[in-house]
Amino acid sequence: MTGPGEPPHANDGVGRLRNGRQMVGGVSVTPADEARVRIDKWLWAARFFKTRSLASTAVEGGKVQVGGERVKPARALKVGDQLSVRIGPYQWSITVCALSDRRGPAPEARKLYVESEESRVARETLAARIRAERPANPLHRGRPTKKARRELDRLQDVDD
């Protein structure tokens, strides 16, 4: 038990926090037997989206599927659910390992799911292809200096 000077979230010594949650890899999670986390909230906590609103919009738009089926943002997730998440050109195939409704640091959020090897390889291959297709401008050297900008302005004024 915690003493009067300890914070209410202090560990009670049996691996559970006083509010009934557990610590898994530094992330405060709800035990699996009483877990009820909305899919939009979990996607936000797992850092797939910056806001819950963006996560909710993606779920409603069919960008997120559970077990190959479209779901609503209020759908409760379970540990072991297979998710397919599409963000732009990238596709993640993941398995839910832990449930959390609190957003934490990226390394801790990464522990909430496991990405399949095929998904990771496909995503990295796509990223490399997109990078290779992007045209590189060898003349672009960042922001011009004040002198270079004046020279550009002078050249453009001559054309007018």
Q: Which helix (H) or strand (E) holds 94?
A: strand 90-96
The span from the CA of 109 to the CA of 115, in Å, is 13
Beta-ladder partners of 96? 113
The span from the CA of 102 to the CA of 42, in Å, is 8
Name the residue with tokens 């992330």.
27
Encoded tokens for 99: 């449930």
Residue 33, pLDDT above cutoff 80: no
**CA nearest to 54, candidates 65, 40, 66:** 40
Average pLDDT over the chain reads 83
Provide CATH code, domain 37-120. 3.10.290.10
The pLDDT tens digits of the residues spanning 85-97 come to 999 999 999 999 9
How, if at all, do strands 69-70 and 64-66 pair?
A: antiparallel
The pLDDT tens digits of the residues spanning 66-109 come to 999 999 999 999 999 999 999 999 999 999 999 998 999 999 99
Q: Sort 39 into a burial class: Cβ within 10 Å, 0-12 / 13-18 / 19+.
A: buried
pLDDT recorded at residue 158: 67
pLDDT recorded at residue 19: 59
